[in-house]
Structure 1
Amino acid sequence: MWNPDAIMENLYNTYAGKRLQEQEHETADSYKLRLKEQLTGSLTLQEGQDDLHPVLLERIELSDHIRERIEFGTYMGFRVPAYVLIPLGLKEKRAAVLTLHGHGFGSRQIVGLNADGTEHTGEPDIHGNYALELVRRGFIVIAPEIIGFGDRRLAEDQKEGKVGNSSCQTLASHLLLYGISLAALRVQEARRALDYVLSRDDVDSSSVGCFGFSGGGLIAAYTAAIDERVKATVLCAFANTFKGSIMPIRHCIDNYLPGVLAYAELPELIGLIAPRPLFIASGKQDPIFPVETVEVAVAYLRKLYIQSGAEDRLHVHLYDGVHEVDGSQAYPWLVEKLAEASRQA
């Protein structure tokens, strides 16, 4: 009788009711503007932004692309290592894609490397090597190391024998003491990655996309929602509702944005990307982003894109699979949409 379940359910319903009440007095445009301002406010860092000062760390020519490793500055003194994959024989500016990895051993996991930096020769894991797949389709691809993973874990988490763990819990907890959410830091670092991409002479600045998987999908969704430099977005194994995913199912603390339910459910935040092109991909058997509530999110987004006169810019691929990347439809879609963005510029 003392368990808090019923009260927590009532709290969710109360906040949902307050949101609906507020929307009743707004036009669609004013609602979108307010929502974007509130999300931007939740993701804003008060700490100073650092100069990029990009540094090339290595450059390796492979059979079908060049792999650079660079580093650049973001906020509060943080430096971010990132892989940049470049098609061989590049003679003109190309569309670029910011790729954001999920939980695992970091950026190496999506560029065709093992955790120790050696070349991966076996079958790809759940990430599907999507940065590698995208450079092979002609894109310039950047894969930053998201803070809390790989080389950007805390020293304790990088001790010998620890591979694939993260520093999310500790970083998120400590940052909250300063009033900073881990989601906010990651989104702002993703935007600095966009700044770097757009500073490159070989990138077509009118044609930049974003591809995120799982936790990287959160970063991709929020980054694209508030930054219109992103012209097309792929969210893989992320689109859902808070109510159907991170609330009833145990998730990493990095998924939680303080105060967000005061102004939006997750589909509404993803909907800020409209009318720009959006691709939703998710496994029908994904145990942590259930397909039933993926479909709830998709229904909301379809209605929104229809109302925006952009129904053809939303694509959905629900595939047989668990929490994993299936890019069979997403890769050609991104090629098409970024080519359109370039033509329309």
Structure 2
Amino acid sequence: MDGAVKPEGSAYYPMLPSLMRKAYTADKRLGFQADSLPGLEAWRGELRSKLAELTGLDRMKACALDPQHMEGPVQLDGYRREKLRIQTEQDVWMPFYVLVPDGLKSGEKRPVVIAAHGHAGGGKESVAGVVSHPAIHAAVDKYSYDYGVQLVRQGYVVLCPDARGFGERREYWKQGDSDKQVMSSSCNHLNHAAISMGYALIGFLIWDLQRLIDFLPSLSYADADRIGCSGFSGGGMQALWLAALDDRVRATVVSGYLSGYKDVLLLETHCGCNYVPRLWEYADYGDIAALIAPRPLLVESGDDDPNSGPRRVDNVREQLDITGKAYALFGCEDRLALAVHEGGHRWYGERVASFLKEAL
């Protein structure tokens, strides 16, 4: 709470210290406490139900996907790229790139990785290596943001979607081609509006990814029984929540995201898409990650990543201690891995290839 203490002699009277006291004294009603597999399964069902309620996922309605081809195929170095779109809710469309590795034999199906993007990358463009805009090119260089391309070159079919509020899904006041506009998002406004209606933006993002999984069987070269999800920063947030709530995801890579909310969401300033009303009454991110057990989970973090909060990687390890208890009950601690790298906030990816090869 050091960052929330009122400085000696200050003329200001903020309310953050009061919020921090509330957060630190609140009981996690659905924090992980199981001591048996039957207890774990009961807890999993209860927490998943509560998360669906808090995010509005339990009120989402499916519609016809109506897949449409938009661009391509374009042959690139070692893979081809196409752009499609699907309808995730009535009149709500999600465009995405499909990256297909070269060398597929007739009738062959490859494992699939959904590569979710975060902020400051122009949406799906950076992940898919579409760097026609100078700002996106700079983001790829800074954050190693083209992990969709890295993954397809490892032999996976990769889907790179735009999340709501990003890329081609920006609302009208954020649309345009300037550096600032291309790199911006509408998620603060969208989450404010969603919260006022009893939803949370993360619920919409996860719904869209679940609909993308529903679409996968229509791709003749995609093995819909071997699905991984990966993401950096806000993409790591999406990967974490998707895998926690959807057992169809068999392996998960969370980069630059998993840490405790008290250090991060209260002491630091983050985008509104991270915030779910009343979440901290029930669970922290380590508890949400525990919902993924026993499926393989790789968490990577820079040892000086400011997005992990003032305690940096200690905050990450604290949450994974919670997660590890679920894996221990299954007797598969080896399926939970933490890769700490020297550096700040970026995608590292050094252990991803070997992790996914074994998991998928």
TM more than 0.5: yes
Q: Which residue number corresponds to residue 341 of structure 1?
A: none
| Contact persistence 1:50–1:77 (CA under 8 A) | no
Task: Select 1:71's aligned residue among 67, 81, 85.
Answer: 85
Match of 1:343 in 2: none
Q: Which deviates more, 282-291 or 120-129? A: 120-129
Q: How far 1:39 moved relative to its partner?
A: 1.6
Q: Which of 56, 63, 74 is equivalent to 1:50?
A: 63
The answer for the alignment partner of 1:137 in structure 2 is: 154
Distance 1:160 1:90, change over 3 A: closer
| Residue identity opposite 1:257 in structure 2 | V
8 A Cα contact 1:128 1:326, kept in partner: no
Deviations, residues 24-65 of structure 1 (Å, cap 9, x unaligned)? 9x9333222211221233331524322111111121111310
| C-alpha distance in structure 1 between counterparts of 2:337 and 2:284, whole Å | 21
The unaligned stretches of length 5 or more in structure 2 are: 1-5, 7-12
User: 1:3 Cα shift?
Assistant: 4.0
In 2, distance between residues paired with 1:221 and 1:157? 27
What is the CA-CA distance between 1:22 and the residue it aligns to? 9.1
Displacement, 1:281? 0.4
List aligned pairs for 1:1-150, cutoff 5 A. 3-16=14-27, 18=29, 27-43=39-55, 44=57, 46-58=59-71, 59-91=73-105, 92-104=108-120, 105-114=122-131, 116=133, 124-150=141-167
Q: Counterparts in 2 of 1:191-206, with a 5 A limit?
A: 191-206=210-225
Unaligned runs of 5+ in 1: 339-345
Distance (whole Å) between structure 2 residues aligned to residue 323 and residue 153 of structure 1: 24
Shift of 1:274: 0.4
The answer for the alignment partner of 1:152 in structure 2 is 169
2:329 corresponds in structure 1 to 307
Alignment partners' CA distance in 1, 2:243 and 2:139: 33
Match of 2:231 among 194, 212, 217: 212
Q: Answer with 303-312 or 68-77: which moved more.
A: 303-312
SS of equivalent to 1:185 = helix
% identical aligned pairs: 31
State the distance in 2 between where 1:127 and 1:99 align.
Answer: 13
Q: Tell me the CA shift for residue 176 of structure 1.
A: 2.4
Please report the TM-score for the alignment, with normalisation by the length of structure 1. 0.91
Contact 1:142 1:197 in 2 (8 A): no
Aligned-partner SS, 2:112 = strand
- Aligned residues, how many? 337
Distance 2:19 2:135 in 1: 47
| Structure 1 residues 282 and 22, CA gap change in structure 2 (3 angstroms) | closer
| Residue aligning to 2:9 | none
Which range moves more in the overlay, 198-207 or 77-86?
A: 198-207
Q: CA deviation at 1:302?
A: 2.4
Q: Which residue of 1 aligns with 2:339?
A: 317
Cα 1:277–1:7, aligned 2, differ >3 Å: closer, same or farther? Answer: same
Root mean square deviation, CA, Å: 2.5
TM-score (norm 2): 0.87
Q: Could you tell me whether the CA contact under 8 Å between 1:45 and 1:184 is conserved in 2? A: no
Q: Take 2:65 and 2:32, find their aligned partners in 1: how far apart are those partners?
A: 43
Q: Distance in 2 between matches of 1:304 and 1:242?
A: 20
